[in-house]
Amino acid sequence: MAEILKKVDVVTVGAGWTGGIIAAELTKAGLNVLSLERGHMQSTENFNFIHDEWRYGINYGLMQDCSKDTVTFRNDLKELALPYRKMGSFLLGNNVGGAGVHWNGWTFRFMPYDFEIKSRSFKRYGNKLGDDYTLQDWGLTYKDMEPYYDKFEKTCGISGEPNPLAEKMGSFRSSPYPQKPLENTKILKRFESTAKEMNLHPFRLPAANSRSGYTNPDGQELAPCEYCAFCERYGCEYGAKASPITTVIPKAMSTGKYTIRTYSNATQILKKDGKVTGVKFVDTRTMKEYIQPADIVVLTSYVFNNAKLLMVSEIGSQYDPKTGKGTLGKNYCYQMNMGTTAFFEEQFNTFMGSGALGTTCDDFIGDNFDHSREKFLHGAMIYSVQSGNRPIQSAPVPQGTPSWGAEFKKALNYNFTRNIFIGGQGASLPHKNNYLSLDPTYKDAFGMPLLRLTYNFTDQDRALHKFITDKTAQIAKRMKGVKSIKKGSYLKNYSIVPYQTTHNTGGTTMGANPEMSVVNTYLQHWDADNLFVVGAGNFQHNSGYNPTDTVGALAYRCAEGILKYHKSGKILA
C-alpha cells in the first residue's frame, strides 16, 4: 500500500525551468510548494570537473537514464514502434534543474505570426497546405505574451541586441535586453559581413550566458561567462549560465516554503470527482510507493512525461489520427536542422565559445517573406554560432574525405581549426499523423507503459529544409577566404539515431477551447481545474526558434493563473 504523506498547497512533477518558475512565484506569494524530482540534487559545485567531453558530451552524464524510462518510436502508423534504447536524436533532462542545467541558452521570443499561425496564413495564402496539416492558433497573442517574456528574460539576464526586423514582424519589446550582447569574434564577424553583403539583417543572438556580472529581480546573481566552450550538454562551473539552479530554485528555497523531494519518480496523477487530489510516486532508492496529496497539481516534467502522465492517469481524451478526434498527444512537432560547413586555409579559434555566442538573421522565418511561390509556410532562422567545437562531437572534414584511415586523420587534424558552420533551424508544422500515445508493449522500470512517438518529416518540412539549406550554401560560398564548402544533405525520413535537437513540442497543446487543446491559455486542464500542465508540450506547432523563452514565459503566466485560481477556485478561461 502506498504511504500517504502530508498534504501541500501545490505539488509539481519535476524541478526544471517550469517547476522552478512555478515554485519561485508561488512560494513568494506564500504558498507551500513541493517538487517531486526523479534525479538527484546538484549545484554549481558539481561542475568543477565538467570539461570532460567523453563523460558529459558523448555519454550524456547529466541526462535521463534510459534503462528506467524512454520512448518507443516509429515513422508512421503502419509500423511497429521500437524502443529508443540509447539517446540520440534528443537528450532528456534529469536531476534538479532538468535540461535547463545543460542547455545552450539561445533565448528567442516566438513572433506574433506564431501565435496566430492559422488565421494569419489562411488570410494571406488560403488553406495552402491542406487539411492534413493541423495548424492551430494558440488562443492568445504576442501582446498577451510580452510581459511574461519580459519577466523570463530579466530572470535570466539575457545578453542581446535589438532585431532589425522586429518592427516588420510586429515584435515589440517593453524593455531592452537586460545585458549587452556577448563579445564578438572573428568567426561571427565573417558571417555578419557576408550576410550584410547579401542584404540580410544579422543581429547578435540573445543569450542566457551572462555578459557581465548580473543580479536579477529576485536578487540572484550570475557571474560573467568565461567562454569556456563546455556549455550545452554541460553545467556551468561559474554560475554564469542562467539555469533553474542559479536563479528560480535558490529563490524559492530562500522563502522557506519550498521542498524538493529527490529520487522520487511520479507514476500517476490521482483524481476524484472532476478534480485531481495528488500524485503517486515511487522512491527509486527503495521502490516504495507514496502518495503526495495537494490542492493543486502542476505537471512540469517535460513534453514526453507530461503527456505520458496524463495518458496513464486517463485524464483528457487521447488523440486518434484515424478519426481526428481527441486532443491529448496531438500536434507533436520537432524541428529541422540544416546547414553548410565552409572550410578555410586560415585558422579560427573554433575551440573557444559559449552556448549562445552567435549571430543570426530572421529574413527567412515566419511570414517575413512571400511564400506564394513556395511549397511551404514558415521558415528558419539562419545563423552562425561559436559554442566551441569539441573534437569528438564536432570535427568536420571536407566533402569527399574518407571516414577513416590516413587521409581521414590528416583532414581531421588540419580542418579542426579551419571551418565555419552556417546553420538553419526550421519551423516544424503539425501533421495529423505525427502524435504521441501509449505503447502497447514496452514498459518502464515502474511498470508503466512507455510513451510512443509516431513521427516523420512531411512534404512541408522537406520543401522548407531544401530552401534554407540552399540559402546557407549561398552564404557559405560567399565568405571571404573560403576554400570549399560541404552542404548538408536534404531531408529524408526522420531518424531517431543522430542528435538533431531537444526541441520537442506539442502533445499537451494550449488553446481557446477544449475541442482544439488540452489546456487553456493559463495552462489549466480543461477537464480538471486544479491541474496545470506546463512546457513546450503546450505549443500548437514549433517555430524555427528555440523553445525555452516561450516555455519560461508560459510558466510565469501559469503561476499567475494558479494564484488567481487559488483565490477564486474557478476555471480561468
Partner 1 sequence: MQDNIIDRRSFFKLGLLGGSVVAASTLGGGAVLKAAELTDSPKSLQTKSNKIRGRIFFQTQTEFDTLSAACERIYPKDNQGEGAIGLGVPYFIDNQLASAYGYNDREYMQGPFMDGKEEQGYQTPMKRKDIFLEGVHALETNAKKRYKKSFSSLKGKEQDEILRDFEKGKIQTIGFKSSYFFTLLREMTIAGVLADPIYGGNDNKNGWRMMQYPGAQMSYIDKIASDEFFDIEPVGLADMED
Ligand X SMILES: Cc1cc2nc3c(=O)[nH]c(=O)nc-3n(C[C@H](O)[C@H](O)[C@H](O)COP(=O)(O)OP(=O)(O)OC[C@H]3O[C@@H](n4cnc5c(N)ncnc54)[C@H](O)[C@@H]3O)c2cc1C
Q: Which residues are catalytic?
A: 503
Q: Taking CB under 6 A as the rule, does residue 206 contact ligand X?
A: no
Q: What share of the chain is helix, strand, coil (3-state, %, to 5)?
A: 25, 25, 55
User: Where in 333-392 is the site for partner 1 (CB under 8 A)?
Assistant: 347-349, 351-353, 357, 391-392
Nearest to 140 by CA among 110, 162, 163, 161: 110
Q: Taking CB under 6 A as the rule, does residue 354 contact ligand SF4?
A: yes
Q: Taking CB under 6 A as the rule, does residue 292 contact ligand X?
A: no
Smallest separation (angstroms) from partner 1 to the CB of 180: 13
Q: Taking CB under 6 A as the rule, does residue 62 contact ligand SF4?
A: no
Query: Which residue from 52, 144, 161, 226 is in contact with ligand SF4, where contact means CB under 6 A?
Result: 226
* Grid cell of 148 as nine digits: 511574461
Residue 221-250 contact track with partner 1, rule CB under 8 A, x = bound = xxxxxxxxxx------xxxx----xx--xx
Q: Are strands 275-283 and 288-299 parallel, antiparallel or unpaired?
A: antiparallel
Backbone angles phi, psi at 114, to 5 degrees: -60, -40
Q: Taking CB under 6 A as the rule, does residue 153 contact ligand X?
A: no
> 3-class secondary structure for 299-313?
ECCHHHHHHHHHHHC
User: Where in 95-114 is the site for ligand SF4 (CB under 6 A)?
Assistant: none
Partner interacting with residue 513 (select from partner 1, ligand SF4, ligand X, none; CB below 5-8 Å by kind) = none
User: Where in 23-42 is the site for ligand X (CB under 6 A)?
Assistant: 36-39
- Residue whose grid cell is 528567442: 108
Residue 169: helix, strand or coil by DSSP?
Answer: helix
Query: Which residue from 193, 255, 401, 501 is in contact with partner 1, where contact means CB under 8 A?
Result: 255
Q: Taking CB under 8 A as the rule, does residue 443 contact partner 1?
A: yes
| Closer of 209 and 517 to ligand SF4 (Cβ) | 209
94 vs 64: CA distance, rounded Å: 5
| Closer of 215 and 399 to ligand SF4 (Cβ) | 215
State the burial class of residue 400 (Cβ atoms within 10 Å of its Cβ: 0-12, 13-18, 19+). exposed
Cβ 70 vs Cβ 403: under 8 Å: no
Q: What is the DSSP-derived secondary structure letter of residue 57?
A: I
Q: Which helix (H) or strand (E) holds 246?
A: none
Smallest separation (angstroms) from partner 1 to the CB of 68: 9
132 vs 146: CA distance, rounded Å: 31
Alpha carbon of 27 to those of 9, 406, 457: distances in Å?
Answer: 10, 61, 42
Residue 567: helix, strand or coil by DSSP?
Answer: helix
State the burial class of residue 405 (Cβ atoms within 10 Å of its Cβ: 0-12, 13-18, 19+). exposed
| Closer of 349 and 474 to partner 1 (Cβ) | 349
Smallest separation (angstroms) from ligand X to the CB of 463: 25
Partner interacting with residue 218 (select from ligand X, partner 1, ligand SF4, none; CB below 5-8 Å by kind) = none
Smallest separation (angstroms) from partner 1 to the CB of 433: 15
Smallest separation (angstroms) from ligand X to the CB of 363: 21
User: Where in 396-435 is the site for partner 1 (CB under 8 A)?
Assistant: 403-406, 408-410, 412-413, 416-417
Query: Which residue from 186, 196, 288, 483 is in contact with partner 1, where contact means CB under 8 A?
Result: 186
Smallest separation (angstroms) from partner 1 to the CB of 6: 12
User: Where in 404-463 is the site for ligand SF4 (CB under 6 A)?
Assistant: none
* Grid cell of 554 as nine digits: 508560459
- Residue whose grid cell is 475541442: 515
> 3-class secondary structure for 379-442?
CEEEEEECCCCCCCCCCCCCCCCCCCCHHHHHHHHHHCCCEEEEEEEECECCCCCCEEEEEEEE
Smallest separation (angstroms) from ligand SF4 to the CB of 153: 16
191 vs 358: CA distance, rounded Å: 10
49 vs 407: CA distance, rounded Å: 34
Query: Which residue from 11, 14, 34, 242 is in contact with ligand X, where contact means CB under 6 A?
Result: 14
Q: How many residues bind partner 1 (CB under 8 A)?
A: 97
Positions that interact with ligand X (CB under 6 A): 13-19, 36-39, 91, 93-95, 98-100, 102-106, 232-233, 265-266, 300-302, 305, 356, 502, 535-536, 546-548, 551
Positions that interact with ligand SF4 (CB under 6 A): 209, 225-228, 230-231, 234, 236, 238, 240-241, 354-355
